[in-house]
Structure 1
Amino acid sequence: MSKIVLYTAKLSPPGRSVELAAKALGIELEIHPINLIAGDHLKSEFLKMNPQHTIPLIVDQDGTIVYDSHAIIIYLVTKYGKNDELYPNDVVTRAKINAALHFDSGVLFARLRFYLEPILYYGSTETPQDRIDYLHKAYQLLNDTITSDYIVGNKLTLADLSCVASIASIHAIFPIDKTKYPKLMAWVERLSELPYYKAINQEGAEELAALYHVKLQENRQKAK
């Protein structure tokens, strides 16, 4: 039987969230690497699958194409989950998980993207303080949201697997101050104990941070 194909990049937080969810679900993926810096996502063959030219994207065994990490992980757990633990089938819990997924999309990843994109793709030499402040505000918002071991209750859900990919990436560039955000840091440490966390998420976050520092230095050298 063919595997689900995942088009992704290790440095992509949304891509890593899909890999984390797949691991939690016991789904084996066939990884198709996309080099964002080289513009693989803008090539015609990719645009035919996703006109929005974003990753991650999956092609299921029956040819179904799904893009946007939050849509993908809900699709995977709904279709392939052996149970509903990661996305419990009650309206209140799902509403809370959905809120966290939107928070990741609209706040965590969005703020990280708006900070990094000018440096990674457009030669910017600036690290605007207001955008850094907004990343720290995102830390505060999530810290204040966490009232249990996990984002929604005391069990791992899609909310954690999605948000931690973005948070780990921000943390790799702007380390979380444990004294200011103790609940957030405790949650990250708890997630980092997952057996697949280091290889899938931590290494990818560190790779993104390293690329950021290299590109920033290159941009500044070119601007001299």
Structure 2
Amino acid sequence: MPDYYYMPLSSPCRSALLTAKALGVELNLKHLDLMAGDQMKPEFVAINPQHCVPTLVDGDLALWESRAICAYLANQYGKDDSLYPKDPKTRAKVDRLMYFDMGTLYFRFGEYVYPVMFRGEEKPNPEKLEKLHEALGWLNGFLAGHDWAAGDHITIADHVLVASVSTFESAGIDITRHENVAAWLARCKSTMPGYAEVNQHGVDEFGKMAKAKLGTN
């Protein structure tokens, strides 16, 4: 059973949990409290010198970066390739969406909320919020014409994106401005395997913290 070092507040951590749940893979969960500095303990740094979560240890493989973990789990444990299609063009769409989440969508969310939540700034920057909505608008366009991020079936791109977008919603970001995103998020909540079990608690806890800092409802 792979060891999985994580913190529920972290949406990247939750994306890989959703992938594992979809695959029926049991993980040996090892909670790290980043606020308390657990990630800096020598025994964890020996596993991951970047001391970040999530981190997966599967036999002789130590792997971090959540999207790489999602891809590895699908490749290693998938009974078929539905979650991470082998067709090069379809896989490229899935990869693009995961890179979009990392480099644009979740990045812009962090640019908006993290200065207030973790760096002592008093108020969020409204220009950063509009940049986030611009990215959500792009996602809205990507979702046009099909139920899931990369087409008509759930892929690991949906696990990555929903962990992010549900976190945005919990922080008071108005997802309803983006009709396709709102409908997709509702679809994920009602039909995605393990959504309530492995995603919702962390979403709720993050939302409480974020709303208190950001002054959102």
Report matched runs for 1:63-212 at 5 Å: 63-147=60-144, 148-178=146-176, 180-193=177-190, 194-212=192-210
What is the deviation of 1:82?
A: 0.8
Tell me if structure 2 keeps the 8 A contact 1:150–1:156. yes
**What is the match of residue 57 of structure 1?**
55
Q: 2:41 aligns with which of 35, 40, 43?
A: 43
The residue number in structure 2 matching 1:20 is 18
Offset, 1:52: 1.9
Whole-Å separation in 2 of the counterparts to 1:127 and 1:190: 30
Q: Report how far residue 115 of structure 1 moved.
A: 2.6
Q: Using a 3 Å threshold, how does the CA distance of structure 1 residues 40 and 116 change in structure 2: closer, same or farther?
A: farther
* 5+ residue gaps, structure 2: none
Query: Over residues 20-79 of structure 1, what are the superposed CA-to-partner deviations in whole Å (9 max), with x where a residue is unaligned?
Result: 00000000111111112122222322222222222100011x131000001101111111
1:91-148 CA distance string (max 9 Å, x none) = 0000000000101111122122223332333322221111211221121110011121
Residue 65 of structure 1 aligns to which amino acid in structure 2? A
Distance 1:116 1:5 in 2: 30
Contact 1:124–1:216 (Cα < 8 Å) also in 2: no
User: Is residue 5–residue 55 contact of structure 2 (8 Å, CA) maintained in 1?
Assistant: yes
Partners of 2:24 and 2:15 lie apart in 1 by 14
Label 1:100 to 1:196 Cα distance change in 2 as closer, same or farther (>3 A).
Answer: same
Q: Specify the code of the residue in structure 1 equivalent to 2:209.
A: L
- For 1:222, the equivalent position in structure 2 comes to none
Q: CA deviation at 1:216?
A: 5.5
Please tell me the root mean square deviation across aligned C-alpha atoms, in Å: 1.6
- How far did residue 84 of structure 1 move? 0.5
Aligned partner of 1:38: which letter?
A
Give the letter aligned to residue 29 of structure 1.
L
Please report how far the alpha carbon of residue 177 of structure 1 lies from its aligned counterpart in structure 2 after TM superposition: 4.3
In structure 1, the gaps of 5 or more residues are 218-224
1: CA distance, partners of 2:2 / 2:75: 15
Q: Which residue of 2 aligns with 1:220?
A: none
- Is residue 22–residue 193 contact of structure 2 (8 Å, CA) maintained in 1? no
Instruction: Report sequence identity in percent.
Output: 36
Distance 1:68 1:46 in 2: 15
SS in 2 for 1:210: helix
Q: How far apart are the structure 1 equivalents of 2:8 and 2:25?
A: 18
Is residue 3 of structure 2 the alignment partner of residue 11 of structure 1?
no
Amino acid at match of 1:49: I
